[in-house]
Chain A
Amino acid sequence: MIEAKPHSRLIAHFLLVLGLIVVVFPIYYVFVASTHPLETILKPPLPLLPGPEYINNYREALFGGIGRIGGVGVGTLLLNTTIMALGIAIGKIIISIMSAYAIVFFRFPLRLVFFWIIFITLMLPIEVRILPTYKVMVDLNLIDTYAGLIVPLIASATATLLFRQFFMTVPNELIEAARIDGAGPWRFFKDILLPLSTTNIAALFVILFIYGWTQYLWPLLVTNSNSMNTIVIALRKMISFADADTQWHLVMVTCVLAILPPVLVVILMQRWFVKGLVESEK
């Protein structure tokens, strides 16, 4: 093992700290802004340390302030976004684990055709079929519904491919043993495959939760009513840089609330997340 010389390690730390400042500063700065009164925010430069209005701003924003600017309370926005993110994450995991299970552990006519049908959806992101998909949503009366926010996004090939790849590494002996012991497909799935997949499921959950939480184009299209907005869309509607009346201190609190949940998920589940990300994309 070659160890870096002390001075080169020092330079490494220096560069990393510099990089961290670039990476973390914008997020930190929003937090700082959310603790200052409106007048301080509008008079640059904004101080680098949190201000005195911490409690006031958050209380005002949480109890009516955000509702006043955006038309909908922050509780509704967070609830909508949480439902969408959880719905997408859980829905995707369930339907992809099912289809991967069928494709790997059963033999049936048209198996490969189905596999390709799923696989090709990789090449059809929402942007390339945007208008017709919107029409389908209108025809099915899915505009401004949770189902409309969630269902079209839960079918995608990546999760299915990931589970398929993992299932193929499960040794044959395991299945044979299970069958000899009289286990049917459900028993095998529940007692053997699912416990083996927990790490993959956890990793995928983090990635998909972030994916759902940060969606933009789709909720923009399928929600007209403010009360169905996700917090990201609502935030976009609140901000106007040309408008002097924007209540920046409250907008900043909303921003912090929109960033916090996914950041917490990533940090708390970091171990699975990093492993899942790096391995699933290989």
Chain B
Amino acid sequence: MNRAIFPHKLLPYLLLAPQLAITLVFFYWPAGQALKQSLLREDPFGLKTQFVGLANFKRVLADPAYLNSIKVTAVFSVATAFISMAIALLLAVQAEKIIRGKTLYRTLMIWPYAVAPAIAGMLWLFMFNPSFGTLAYPLRQMGIHWDPLLNGPQAMTMIVMAASWKQISYNFLFFVAGLQAIPKTLIEAAAIDGARGFRRFRTIVFPLLAPTSFFLLVINTVYALFDTFGIIHAVTGGGPGKATETLVYKVYNDGFVNLILGDSAAQSVILMVIVIALTALQFRYIEKRVHYG
């Protein structure tokens, strides 16, 4: 399209200046530094620096602790994305069926969106903490030895619960919007052909929700990878042992707590590659929507 525009030479640069300045100082410069660091070996006091090529990457990728954190991240992200999307989809489908009370349900359903991830973690730990958590109490009564602060799989269960809980709101809103966008005529046609409730859902509604679901899958993966740092830091601190040490948590821990700069930078660069891949995926999806949506 040929846009009508304002003929100005200087003004557009002035308008762009603030954002560009911040972007260059706080995004590009540090990202460049991370790339550079990842190829260097430096002692924690910054006295000696040496170019080591890809040695940092080799060491990081061979490190059992790093491989463990990849596994932890995969389990955590898949579980969080699946649980929060499944619950949200179930609830969104129910919300489509009812006539009265829609707004009320939605109003209450979006609360967790506004809760900080770290606080979400603390809420769940408060309910499930081994010494006086109200919901840990019945678990103990049932004879389960419940102690998420000492037991790895239980710690993972806790942070998955907290992370999925927080994400239900977001997924719910998108599934509701996705369901509303499905033409009612299609569903009516299926009904006339004799398809009953669940069959209609399985053969019509669910396939037509695929774009929404795919989009949410990407968003939820990004969320589980990056935005859940607060939950892990506040609830488990990566422990017990390294049972809940995700990739992002490890970057933070190696860089700020253990001060292994080269390794931390190499991990940052690996994360960068993951983000670029996920963003590319997300944009492919948007292209599709433009063409067929």
Contact = CB atoms under 8 A, between A and B. Distances in A.
Given A23-B165, A44-B136, A128 B275 contact: yes
Interface stretch (A56-64, A194-202, A266-274): A266-274
Given A19-B109, A185-B8, A128 B118 contact: no
Contacts of B49: none
Interface in A109-134: 111, 114, 117-118, 121-125, 127-134
B19 A96 contact: yes
Name, among A13, A23, A179, the residue most crowded by chain B CB atoms within 10 Å (CB to CB). Answer: A23
Q: How large is the interface on A (under 10, 10 to 19, 20 to 34, 35 or more residues)?
A: 35 or more
A99 B289 CA distance: 26
B82 interface: no
A278 B174 contact: yes
B85 to A, nearest CB: 13
Nearest to A232: B116
Contacts of A235: 118-119, 122
A155 B31 contact: no
A192 interface: no
A23 B169 contact: yes
B230 interface: yes
A122 B279 CA distance: 8
A241 to B, nearest CB: 5
Given A132-B30, A241-B129, A26 B165 contact: yes
Interface residues of B: mostly helix, strand, loop or mixed?
A: helix
A241 B130 CA distance: 9
Interface residues of B, number: 107
B124 A26 contact: yes
B123 A20 contact: no
A171 to B, nearest CB: 9
Contacts of B105: 16, 20
B15 A99 contact: yes
Given A12-B94, A23-B108, A184 B18 contact: no
B202 interface: no
Nearest to A217: B229
Given A33-B126, A151-B22, A255-B119, A124 B27 contact: yes
A45 B19 contact: no
Interface string A134-162: 11100010000000000110110000100
B30 A8 contact: no
Contacts of A41: 132
A20 B289 CA distance: 32
Nearest to B29: A136
Contact of B256 (A131, A179, A210): A131
Can you list the 7 inter-chain pairs with the closest CB atoms, starting with the nearest? A216-B230, A132-B33, A214-B116, A132-B30, A155-B22, A102-B15, A262-B114
Given A130-B252, A267-B107, 20 more contacts: A1-B184, A12-B98, A19-B91, A19-B109, A29-B127, A42-B131, A42-B132, A98-B16, A99-B18, A107-B5, A122-B279, A123-B279, A124-B275, A132-B37, A135-B30, A213-B114, A215-B116, A239-B122, A262-B116, A270-B110
Interface of A: 1-4, 8-9, 11-13, 15-16, 19-20, 22-24, 26-27, 29-30, 33, 41-46, 95-96, 98-99, 101-108, 111, 114, 117-118, 121-125, 127-136, 140, 151-152, 154-155, 160, 168, 172, 175-176, 179, 184-185, 188, 210, 213-217, 220-221, 232, 235-236, 239, 241-242, 252, 255, 258-259, 262-263, 265-267, 270, 273-274, 277-278, 281-282
